[in-house]
Amino acid sequence: MNIIAAARLAASDLASTAFRKVLWKSSGLTLVLFLTLFAAIQLALSYLDFPQHSWAEPIIAILAGAGLILAFVFLAVPVTAIFAGLYLDQIAELVERTHYPADPEGKPPPAALSVLLGLRFALIALLVNLLALPLLFLGIGAVVMVLANAYLLSREYFEMTSLRHMSREEAARLRGEHARSIFLAGLLPALMALVPIANLIVPIFSTSYFTHIVKSLAPLRVPESLAGRGTGRK
């Protein structure tokens, strides 16, 4: 498996017109959610009265704004995953049609299963990031979040993209055979998740990225850019 080649292909996919349309939809929905939340908090604060402690009002407003920005950084992955789940099969299909036209066509998993997997991932990611948040004050929070998100992202997106071509049992077996390489692949989107604005493209990028990775591991035809390159391929 060549992680660098897969990342380059995924980055080039994002530059295409078809991918940008999905990217704007997913990112736009996420931004609308956070801006609505921010406006609601500001509106609620405007109705609070601090007659005896007027100095507290601007402090609370600043803390609320800072808290929302922090949420935008650390909670964007689970939030965008929910929205991106609406377009995951569309992105995977675009990748397969563009780069692997000679391969058997992937079949989207049942809608109920896709929704269940997406919600499961969002809830687990939310819980893990919230648990790791206090560790920021100990100086290790960012490292814990990157490692945890690398595992979560690699597991979830590998499973969701591989289910287009195999059963959950086969996908789990393939992931187990290449567990270390797949985890290392998850470090890239996990690092992207810590960067504001860049974290909005994590679900779209990860779908394309792990579609290429699944193709490089599964016994199917792969493009020359992935085939036989790198010492990490098994």
Report pLDDT digits (tens) over 47-106. Answer: 665 555 566 667 766 776 676 666 666 666 677 666 666 677 888 888 988 898 888 888
* Least trusted range by pLDDT, from 20-29, 44-53, 108-117, 147-156: 44-53
Residue 152 is assigned to a structural domain of this protein: yes
What is the extent of the structural domain holding 83?
Answer: 3-217
**What pLDDT score was predicted for residue 10?**
92
Residue 33 is assigned to a structural domain of this protein: yes
The arithmetic mean of pLDDT across residues 157-182, rounded, is 89
**Residue 111 pLDDT > 80, yes or no?**
no
State percent of the chain over pLDDT 70. 72
**Residue 121 pLDDT > 80, yes or no?**
no
**What pLDDT score was predicted for residue 117?**
74
**Residue 203 pLDDT > 70, yes or no?**
yes
Residue 31 is assigned to a structural domain of this protein: yes
The arithmetic mean of pLDDT across residues 198-205, rounded, is 82
Q: What is the band of 179 on the pLDDT scale with cuts at 50, 70, 90?
A: very high
Residue 30 is assigned to a structural domain of this protein: yes
**What pLDDT score was predicted for residue 71?**
65
Q: What is the band of 9 on the pLDDT scale with cuts at 50, 70, 90?
A: very high
Q: How far apart are the first and last CA of the chain?
A: 6
- Bigger pLDDT: 17 or 219? 17
**What pLDDT score was predicted for residue 40?**
74
Residue type, 40: A
State percent of the chain over pLDDT 90. 12
**What pLDDT score was predicted for residue 210?**
93
Q: Kindly report the average pLDDT of the chain as a whole number.
A: 77
**What pLDDT score was predicted for residue 81?**
66
Residue type, 167: S
- Bigger pLDDT: 66 or 12? 12
What's the number of domains the chain is made of?
Answer: 1
Residue 162 is assigned to a structural domain of this protein: yes
Residue 197 is assigned to a structural domain of this protein: yes
**Residue 173 pLDDT > 60, yes or no?**
yes
Residue 202 is assigned to a structural domain of this protein: yes
The arithmetic mean of pLDDT across residues 169-175, rounded, is 89
Distance CA 73, CA 112 (A): 29
* C-alpha torsion angle, residues 198, 188, 109, 120 (rounded to 10): -80
- Bigger pLDDT: 148 or 197? 148
Distance CA 225, CA 123 (A): 36
Q: What is the band of 213 on the pLDDT scale with cuts at 50, 70, 90?
A: very high
Residue 230 is assigned to a structural domain of this protein: no
Contacts of residues 117-121 at CB distance under 8 Å and 24 or more positions apart, as own/partner, are 117/85, 117/156, 117/159, 117/160, 118/81, 118/82, 118/85, 118/88, 118/160, 119/82, 121/78, 121/81, 121/152, 121/156
Q: How many C-beta neighbours within 10 Å does residue 68 have?
A: 17
- Bigger pLDDT: 34 or 188? 188
